[in-house]
Structure 1
């Protein structure tokens, strides 16, 4: 892309012997721009200078140019590296100041580069290569509830097995108590059966509620 430039025409046909286009030029800090002088008539001295705030940061080394008849000249400039906007004026004159035109100049700070973390585009568990081996992790809803249900199922299975074991032991104990009561006889045997049954019931309830 060619640099931005101001085109100055000298001895142009018409009432205006000196013309400059555009009327304002804006460039980025650190970029190059230029002044293209096109002489359409007889030889002439063209004087260029920069005024205003921008003139404190940028100057033209060879401000006075002698341009042969029907020839061109070019002045190359580089905008200063600044972090804020600077404005000034390019004054172009010929005929020892008899005719002067002005072009507004503005230098704006270059936009800051934003660094992007390349890992942001890598799928979870994979890489950014073309193999496509990575996979995205699909978030799940109700994760804590699912884990709670799993623990409840595990706990329920454990309680069921414990309750079954206590029940079997209780049945055997009651059977032994009944046989013992029939052998011993009397109220003592009956009370022994009741005591064993009560103990089995309490043990089963504790096992269920644990």
Structure 2
């Protein structure tokens, strides 16, 4: 947690010494460091700074030669905000100002931003099916897959027999079976 240290009573009773500027992106403590007699300190955020920061209590008692941290809360924001913090002692007889800039929080590299787009499927649209995929889908839809399987077995048997017997009639029969399978598959795909 960041700290803004304010020296009290260092140069005499009710004296206040504070840095001219302070910058943070997180909640911070104003540390009231007293170097003398007991003192009452009044802290006040100007109108601009109070839109993003908050001090729970404005008046603080600091023991002699003591130190007291005062927490300053920060609201989430997306842009930097600059304003002034007023530090007063002796019922306003001594005053110091610190210009405070509150930066947006740094992005956490491990942080995952969740929004409504994660509720939707992140799939790519399906690619257009190839011609072979279209024919396969039509065969499956029409139940012609079994027809194709039997046709391929018949063609393979006809070719094997024709090659073994070397007969023109058997080769012609194998060609007829092949043409019959092609026609049957074509009709099944169209349906």
TM-score range, shorter chain: 0.5 to 0.7
Gaps of 5+ in 1: 116-210
The residue aligned with 2:37 is: 42
Partner of 1:164 in structure 2? none
Native 8 Å contact 1:27 1:79 kept in 2: no
The higher relative CO (CA closer than 8 Å, separation ≥ 6) is in: 2
- TM-score, structure 1 normalization: 0.48
**Is the Cα contact below 8 Å between 1:49 and 1:59 reproduced in 2?**
no
Q: How many residues align?
A: 110
1:92 aligns with 87
Consecutive unaligned residues of structure 2, counting only runs of 5 or more, are 111-191
Match of 1:17 in 2: 15
Offset, 1:32 = 2.1
Q: Cα gap change, 1:49/1:108 in structure 2, threshold over 3 Å: closer, same or farther? A: same
SS in 1 for 2:49: helix
Say what the alpha-carbon RMSD is for the aligned residues: 2.1
Name the residue aligned to 2:76: 81
Q: Structure 1 residues 109 and 66, CA, compared in 2 at 3 Å: closer, same or farther? A: same
Measured after TM superposition, the shift of residue 26 of structure 1 is 1.0
Q: Deviations over 1:47-93 (max 9, x none)?
A: 00110412123221111001111111111223221011111111000
Q: TM-score, normalised by structure 2?
A: 0.52
Name which one, 1 or 2, has greater alpha-carbon Rg.
1
Q: Any residues of structure 2 matched to 1:55-74 within 5 Å, and which?
A: 55-74=50-69
Quote the residue 1:8 is aligned against. Answer: 6
Moved over 6 A (4+): none
Q: For the residues of structure 1 that align with 2:95 and 2:66, how far apart are their CA atoms?
A: 20
How do 1:169-188 residues align onto structure 2 when only pairs under 5 Å count? none
CA distance 1:58–1:110, shift in 2 (3 Å) = closer
Structure 1 distance, partners of 2:51, 2:74, is 12
Q: Determine which of 105, 108, 118 is the counterpart of 2:103.
A: 108
Q: Does structure 1 conserve the Cα–Cα contact (< 8 Å) formed by 2:14 and 2:39?
A: no
Which SS does the other structure have where 1:35 is aligned?
Answer: strand
Q: Name the CA distance, whole Å, in 1 between partners of 2:6 and 2:109.
A: 38
